[in-house]
Amino acid sequence: MSDFWLYLKLGFYHVLDWNAYDHILFLIVLTVAYTFSNWKKVLLLVTLFTLGHTMSLFLSVYGVVRVNASLVEFLIPITIFFAALFNVFTASNSNKYEKVGVLYATTVFFGIIHGLGFSNYFNVISSNVSSKTLPLIEFALGVELAQIVVVFIVLLLSFIIQTVFRFSKRDWILVISSIVIGMVIPMIISNKIW
């Protein structure tokens, strides 16, 4: 049972690690356009992200997929940048999420990229475990719980800003997405791939 809590906490703190806040930034831009009334869609998006994250982590840990770590570390802020840029260009468009299949597929793809970024570290910490399947599932549960916490905070802040302070939804999306873009551009520039 202690291993369960170990990997659950590892997944939880993987998302909430302030030294590697890229995961939080992606969740912010993924959910900033939604409200509590969209909680089912947001939960589905977050779960799809977790599935992509877990799938790529699983394939990488078992040696099915090998990707250059520098490339993955470059692609992670790129995925955040494009998700935020999408928000900026579609903030005024109330129909932007009508093509939900594209949104869901993109979210899974971004989860795959983010999962690959953690595979080397996961291999190191689980090196003494014979089967990594159960630790991967426990880790995924921790990731999902942490993502739900982040999403709840984003939705709560959105509600407060839009209801109490009368910020328009469009302006809220533009401000938050622009802040995230400003935070990821230095991450992209300072990447070792250059």
What is the C-alpha to C-alpha distance for residues 74 and 93, in angstroms, rounded to an integer? 30
Q: Is the pLDDT of residue 49 over 90?
A: yes
The Cα 141–Cα 12 span in angstroms is: 8
* Paired tokens of 86: 């999408």
* Tens digit of each residue's pLDDT (9 = 90 or more) over 64-82: 988 888 899 899 999 999 9
Q: Torsion angle of alpha carbons 175, 158, 90, 27, nearest 10°?
A: 90
pTM of the model: 0.89
* Span of 92-101, 139-148, 163-172, 180-189 with lowest mean pLDDT: 92-101
Percent over 90 (pLDDT), the chain: 58
* Residues 74-102, mean pLDDT to the nearest whole number: 81
194: confidence class by pLDDT, cuts 50, 70, 90? low
**What is the per-residue pLDDT across 152-187, written as a single tens digit (0 to 9) for each?**
999 999 999 999 999 999 999 999 999 999 999 999
Q: What is the pLDDT of residues 33-44, one digit of tens each?
A: 999 999 999 999
Segment 122-147 mean pLDDT: 86
